[in-house]
Chains A and B, each alone.
Chain A
Amino acid sequence: MDKQYIIRGVQRSSFRKFIAWMIPWAGLLIFGVYAIYLCLAKGLNQTNMDNRFAFGVWIFLDLTVIALGAGAFFTGFLLYILKKKELHAVINSAVVIGFICYSGAVGVLMVDVGQPLRAWFTFWHPNVHSMLTEVTFCITCYLTVLAIEYVPVILKNRKLREIPSMLVFEHELHKLVFVLAAVGTFLSFFHQGSLGGLYGVLRGRPFAFREGIAIWPSTFFLFILSAAAVGPSFILLTTWLVSKISKKRLVKKNVLMLLGKISGALLIVYVLLKTIDTLVWINSTSPAVGFPAYEFYSRKPFGTWILFTEIVVFGLLPALVLLSGRMRAHVGLLVTAAAFACTGVALNRFVMTIQTLALPTLPFDPFLSYMPSWQEVGAFLAVIAYGVLVYSLSFRYLVLFPQERELSNG
C-alpha cells in the first residue's frame, strides 16, 4: 500500500503489520496526552510534586533523555569534525534520536512549569546569572539545529526526491552539515554543562553543591563528559534494538564496536573525574558548609550503595568492558555494557534530582519521599510513545542506516 514511499533496496514489513505496531503506541500517546491535558487544564495539583519535592520525575527523566540524546551532537562532532567516517552509518539515526529526545524533553518542560505561556519571559528578561537561563537558550537553539538537521533526512524520502526543488534544497542543506555539527557541539557542551550546573550551584543544598572553576561548578564539566560518554552508547543500544525488532542488519559490526570504544574511553575518564569530585566533596566541600557527607547516606534508602552502584557497577564496569577489544567483539557484552552506561547516567540524574530534594537541610525537617502520580507517569509515557512513533515512521520511510541496503543485499 505504501511501497512507493519506502526506500529502494531495503525490505520493510507489510503496511498492515506496521499499523499493528503503531496502534498500541498511538494509544499510549493518546493516554499520555490526556494526562498532559489534565496537568495543563487543572494545574500541577495533578502531580505528586509538592513544596519540598518541587522537581520530580519529569526533571529527572528530562535530564536523562537529554544526556542520552547527546549521541546526536557527539556523533555529528566525531563524524564531521573529527572525520570518523564509519559513523556515517548511524548519523541519520542519531539525528532523529536527538530530535526526539530534545523535542520530547522540551514538551514535558512546558507541562512542568506552572505558567507555560510565560516561557518567553526568559528570553525577554533573562537573568544571565541563572544556569536555567543558559539551559533554556541553548536547548531552544539546539532543538532548532536538530530540526534543521532532520530536514535533509526527510528530504531523502523516495517520493520527495522526485521533486527537483526538494533535491536542490536537500543538497544545499547538506552543505551546512559541518556548520550545524559545529554549532550543535558548541550548544550541546553548554547546555549539558548547565544542566549539571543547575545542581552544582545550589549553595542551599550541600548534597548537590560543588566547587568549580570560575562560575562553573564541577557538575558542569561532569555532565558534559557523562553525556558525551553515554551518547554513543545510546546510539549503539538503539541501533541494536531496532535491528532486533526489525530483524535486519543495519550497520556493520565495526560501527557498533567503534561506538562502544568511544563510549568506553570517555566513560573511564568520567569515572575517574567523578571519583575525584566525590572525594573532594566528601572531604572538603560538604563539611566546609557544616554538613558531613556521611550523614546524607544515613537516610535510607539512599545509603552508600547508591554511590557504589553509580560509579562502579554502572560506570567503571561498563567502561572496562567497552575498552577491551576482546569483550567489545562480543555483541552481547557490548550491548550490555552500553545499557549499563546508559543506566549509570540515568542513576546520576536521579541522584542529583531526587536524592537532593529528599534530603532535608533544616535539622528538624524530616527526610521525605515522593512517588509520581499517574498523570506524571502518563505525560512521560507520551514522550516515549511519541519517540517510538516518530522513529518508526522515520525508519520505514527514510534512510536512517545507509549501510542497510548493502548489508541486506550482501
Chain B
Amino acid sequence: MTAQKNSRYGMVIDLDACTGCGACMVACAVENNIPPAPESANERTGITWMRVYKVLNGKSFPDTQAVFVPMMCQQCEHHTPCISVCPQKAVELDEESGIVAQIPVRCLGCRYCMTACPYHARYFNWWDPVWPKGMEQTLNPDVAPRMRGVVEKCNFCHGRLQAAKAKAAAEGRIEIRPEEYQPACSDACPTNAIVFGDLNDEQSEVSRMAHQKDSFRLLETLGSEPKVYFQSERPWVHHIAEQDFASPEKETVHG
C-alpha cells in the first residue's frame, strides 16, 4: 500500500466556450444547499458561490463583443489572503487537496476574510436560511446548510470529494479516479467550458490546458497563486487579467 500523494485541484475555464447560461450557478446552488434569496436580497447581499460576470469590450455595434467570466473562490495557494486573517482558524488550506476550506461552525462572522479576498468571492449569510415548504426535501444530505451570520464560499464541492474518497475506500482503493470527482459546475456546463482536475497530475486535461499560452489567471501580480485559470483566444479578454484600470468605464458589468 503506497501513501497517497497530495493533489492540487484546479480549474481551467474556457471563456470563449462559456455562453453565460448560468447552469453552473444553478448547479452550484443546488449542490451546496444555498437557500433561495429572500425578497429583500440584492446582487450584493445574495449568496452565489459561483457568479457569472458579463463583460463587454466597450466597442459600439457591430464591433461589440461580450465575454462571460464565471467567478468563484480562486483557491489561492500562496499567501492565501483569507487564511492568515481569520482570527479563529475558520479557513484552512487542505494540504491533501489544495482546496481552501471554509469551516462555518468555527466562523465568528467578523467578515475580515471577505475584506481580504481580492476576488470578492466570499459571501455572508445576512439572513437565516429558509427553504419553502417541500423544497427542503431537495437538500443535499452530503452538505451541511450554513446558519445566519457566517461566511461561506466555493470549496470545489468538497462534499463530492469526500463521497468519492468514501467510495474508493469501500472498494479498497487509496486514490480516487479523476472522473469520480467533478464539482457540480463543471458537471453541469453544457459547453464543457469548465475543466476540472488535479493540477499536479501532468497527464490531466486541466494541467495541460493550464500550461497553454492562452491561459491566464486573474490578479496574478498579487502573488497569491490562484488555482483557477481562464482561457481565451481573444486579446481584449487577456487585458482583463492585466488589470487595465486606465479606463474603468470601459467594460460594462452585469453580475
Contacts and interface: CB of A to CB of B under 8 A. Distances in A.
Given A204-B224, A363-B243, A125 B85 contact: no
A127 B114 contact: no
B111 A127 contact: no
Contacts of B131: none
Contact of A292 (B44, B114, B148, B245): B245
Contacts, number: 177
A125 B40 contact: no
Interface string A107-141: 00000111100110110111101111100100000
B243 A291 contact: yes
Given A45-B45, A45-B127, A205-B118, A127 B109 contact: no
Interface string B108-130: 11111011111110111111100
Nearest to B110: A113
A54 interface: yes
B84 A114 contact: no
B22 interface: no
A217 to B, nearest CB: 12
A54 B111 contact: yes
A336 interface: no
Contacts of B126: 43-45, 50
Contacts of A360: 120
B72 interface: no
B120 A114 contact: no
B86 interface: yes
Interface in A351-410: 356-357, 360-368
B150 interface: yes
Contacts of A113: 108-110, 149
A115 B108 contact: yes
B222 A203 contact: yes
Contact of B107 (A53, A115, A298, A363): A115
Contacts of B147: 115
A363 B88 contact: no
Contacts of A54: 111-112, 114-115, 122, 124
B246 interface: yes
A148 B232 CA distance: 63
A35 interface: no
Given A50-B45, A118-B108, A364-B251, A127 B221 contact: no
A127 B110 contact: no
B159 interface: no
A244 interface: no
A121 B108 contact: yes
A349 to B, nearest CB: 14
B111 A362 contact: no
A52 B253 contact: no
A127 B123 contact: no
A198 interface: yes
A114 B222 contact: no
B119 to A, nearest CB: 7
Interface string B90-117: 0000000000000000111111101111
Contacts of B151: 114
B202 interface: no
A204 B117 contact: yes
B108 A114 contact: yes
B82 to A, nearest CB: 8
A203 B224 CA distance: 8
Given A204-B81, A206-B222, A51 B124 contact: yes
A130 B251 contact: no
B218 interface: yes
B144 to A, nearest CB: 15
Q: Which 4 A-B pairs have the closest CB atoms?
A: A114-B109, A114-B149, A290-B221, A204-B118
30 contacts: A43-B128, A44-B109, A50-B42, A50-B44, A51-B120, A53-B44, A54-B112, A55-B111, A114-B124, A114-B151, A115-B147, A124-B88, A125-B88, A125-B89, A129-B84, A132-B86, A132-B110, A198-B112, A204-B117, A206-B222, A295-B246, A360-B120, A361-B119, A361-B219, A363-B242, A363-B244, A364-B240, A365-B53, A366-B253, A368-B44
Given A113-B149, A204-B81, 9 more contacts: A54-B114, A113-B109, A114-B149, A119-B108, A122-B87, A127-B88, A133-B87, A205-B118, A362-B118
